[in-house]
Structures are given as structure tokens and as C-alpha cells.
Amino acid sequence: MRRRAIVVGSGAGGATVAKELEGEFDVTVVEAGKDFRRVTLDRRAIDRLRGSRMLLDPRLLRLVYPPIRIRRTPDMLLVNGIGTGGTTTMATGNGIRMDEDLRVLGLDLDREFDEIAREIPISTAHQRRWHPITRRLFRTFDDLGLDPVVLPKMGDAERCRHCGRCMLGCPYGRKWDSRAYLDEAVRRGARLMTGSAVTEVVIEDGRATGVVTRTKALHRFVPADLVVLAAGGFGTPAILERSGIACEPTLFVDPVLTVAARVPNAWQCNEIEMPFVVQREGYILAPYFDWISSLFDPSWRHRLQDIVGIMIKLADESVGSVSGRKVHKLLTPTDRSRLDEAVDVATEILVGFGADPHEVFLGTVHAGHPGGMLPLTEASAPTMHDDRLPENAYVADATLFPKSLGNPPILTIIAMAKRIAAICAAKSHRHTWQGRDGKGAPPTTRSQWRSRCVRA
């Protein structure tokens, strides 16, 4: 009997591990959400929705965008995706390598990044089809001495339709997201369980024996020889806590604030998101139409086509925690100081672009790149395994990052997940750990498993 692996989550880390391990293991991917559904409303319908003021509470965005989940803290909104593909379906598809902090720990992922380059098209070909608004913005950034760099995109960038809906779910299938890896894993034989939230990892005698899932009101134990948690920077720490494994209070979230201005008929809402980037100390700047703010924030009352935005993505300090469903995260004085500095720079860009300084306004601070609560160290980086975890349980998402990247993390998460999958595959040849009941079928409840689990 082949060993069984449970992979929790189908985002960048989970889908990668599932693809790499299927065949070596019988893989089951457990996803809390359902199949991803993009926003299908056209611009006029979105404008009518904005005018109706139905979405005054941003948490109601899920009514029109089912995979999105939004939580409030005193300082910001916390955003993540629940559904096949995780948050990659809502990301802007940036293929940027950000592993400097991992290299400091002695972790060399060159081989994994080379593999990714062979599997996922990554290019800057979208630049050839930029709209005039983006070309003018690039020149403005350059004239101010900010050294803008074109961002490579994952997917068929050359045929990008520049519809501006990257964050709402690409309607043309041009943007890569982790469903590509997930579909490949399923084609190879992996099983996908959607609508099933993992509540805990069951640990007995220092080993993970499976996970408990919740589907509506039904709890079920799913046995496994290997458990890989990739439920994201909010989800994974919560599962670990419920499993009796404490994480560190070192949560980062990469807060985003868009500084915008009214520019008649700019039509940035129909352009590719984050076409280029400027790297600054503690934050980045990039052109960005903030759909979240535009849908509910009163400051964004202008017509969609009349708004030009500059995103600030902050590398926030690692101070925060997750406890159950609650996330405790505030901006520190250092975070606020950097954010104020970045707002000044973004405002200068918009004025240099030709916007009236009196027409500049801010979006709502929101964050969607959580991580850091089980950070890799020099001791754990070689094995990609924290001693607090059972020997046959791993984490494969941004929870492992030593600190905030302040940059798009997807490519680096995939590289880490590939390394973790390779380690798990190598270990599987040295271990045999199977459960079976008297009839040869896998047990279906935790009590059955406890009473019938045997070591082969």
C-alpha cells in the first residue's frame, strides 16, 4: 500500500507539494473553500453596485466575489482567498524571486527556481502592450529618479488582454495561478476535497496520524502518513495552535495602501496590475487600481475610469499573532513612519504625472501576504522542519518566511514547497507507517484510527 499524504490548502505551497508528491504518495488535497469563481460583473454593473452603497461593510464583498475573505483590525483589512488556488487567483501574477533572507540562513533554492522557470512561463512581454497611462507613469517614475523595473508576470504575458481584472480573477486564462499545478496533481491521481476545513492535526506518540476535517457540521478524521500544512499565513498557525503546537508572535502581513488621484479618462482600471515596480527601503511602489477600496471606500467616489493609483506595499515589522479565528495585528510606529514617507513619494509621483494635488486621496489599508509565525532559522533551514512539529508533518507556505518580503511572495513560496516535497519524498523511502483496520480499509474516525493504527 502506498503511503498517504494530506496536503492542507491548494494555494502556491499546497498545489506545488501535491503535484510533486503524487505518485510517491497517494495525495489528498484538503481545501476549505470551493472551486474558484471570478467576478463576472462588467464595469457598468460594478459602477451600479458602488452607487447602491450596498457594500459599505467590506466583508460583504464575498457576495459578489465568493472566494474573498476580509477581516477587520483597528488598523487595516486582512484579505485572503478561500477556494481552489488560494490567494494566487487574486494575485497579480508577479514572478519575482525574493529569497535573500533564506540565503542568509544557508538555504540555496537555485535548483528549485530553475525548475519553476521550465514549468511556468515568466516574462515581461506584457510591456509591449501597455496602455498610454502606464507608459506615462513609467516615464514619470523614471524622471523622478526612482529607477522603475518592469515586473515579470507568470503566465501568457504576451497575450495578456490588459483588462485590469488580475485581482478579480483573469477572465481569459492568461495569468498563471496554482490551479495549474493542482489540476496536474489531480490528473496524476491526487484526490481533491473542497469545502472541507481542517480543524487540527492529530498527533499520537510524536507523529501525525492524520487530520480532522469539518464539512458543514460533520467532523471527519482523515488518516495520513504525511501531513503538509499550506493553509496560508493565517490558516496554518490556527491549525497548529488547535493541534497543541505553539507558533511565534511574529506575524507580518505586507500592508497595502493605494494613493490615488482623479485623472479624467485615465482608464487605469483597464490596465494590467503592477506592471512595474520601484524598490525602496521598507516598501515598494507600483501602479495599481485598488478594486477593494473602489468598491466600498467613500473616498473612491469618482468614476472608475477617472482614477489613477500608486500602490504602497509595506514590509511591516513581525509583530502580531493568530489565535483561533482572531488575528491580532497592528501597525507599529516604524510601520507608520515608513507608510507616511511612502505616501509622500506616491503623491509626488501623481503630481508629477499631472494630477491636481487637491485631487489626491487614499485608499483603505489592507493586507494579503501573511506569514512568519513559524520562521525558518539556521538550524531548521537545511531540513525545512521545525522541531515543534511531528517528524512527519511539514509547513509549506509563507508561515516559514523569516520576515516580511514586502514584495510578491508566490514564486519564492513555490520554490520552498518544491524543496519540502523533495525532502518528504526522500524520507518516504526510509519510513513505513500505515494504518489499517481489520477489514483492510482505512478507518474513518479518530477513535477508530487510535484503536487500529499499527506500525507495519
For the stretch 120-152, pLDDT in tens is 999 999 999 999 999 999 999 999 999 999 999
Dihedrals phi, psi of 208, to nearest 5 degrees: -80, 125
Task: Provide the β-strand partners of residue 453.
Answer: 435
Structural contact between residues 75 and 365, judged by C-beta atoms closer than 8 angstroms = yes
At 442, is the pLDDT very low, low, confident or very high (cuts 50, 70, 90)?
very low
Average pLDDT over residues 71-80: 94
Average pLDDT over residues 16-30: 97
Q: Which of 407, 413, 436 is nearest to 109 (CA)?
A: 413
C-alpha grid cell, residue 392 = 512527519
Average pLDDT over residues 190-207: 96
Q: Does domain 43-82+121-175+255-367 have CATH number 3.40.50?
A: no
Q: How far apart are CA 354 and CA 140, in angstroms?
A: 9
DSSP 175: B
Query: How do the domains of the chain map onto residue ranges?
Result: 4-33+179-249+373-452, 43-82+121-175+255-367
Residue 52 pLDDT: 77
At 450, is the pLDDT very low, low, confident or very high (cuts 50, 70, 90)?
very low
Identical topology for domains 4-33+179-249+373-452 and 43-82+121-175+255-367 = no
Pairing of strands 255-262, 366-367: antiparallel
Residue 399 pLDDT: 98
pLDDT tens-digit map of 392-408:
999 999 999 999 999 99
Q: Does domain 4-33+179-249+373-452 have CATH number 3.40.50.2000?
A: no
Residue 49 pLDDT: 83
Segment (H or E) for 170 = none
Which of 76-80, 228-232, 340-344, 426-430 has the weakest average pLDDT? 426-430
Half-sphere exposure of 21 (CA within 13 A, CB side): 37
| Residues 6+ positions from 96 with CB-CB distance below 8 Å | 151, 152, 277, 407, 408, 411
User: Residue 4 in 3-state DSSP?
Assistant: strand
The pTM for the full model equals 0.93
Which of 44-48, 178-182, 275-279 has the weakest average pLDDT? 44-48
Structural contact between residues 296 and 35, judged by C-beta atoms closer than 8 angstroms = no
pLDDT tens-digit map of 337-388:
999 999 999 999 999 999 999 999 999 999 999 999 999 999 999 999 999 9
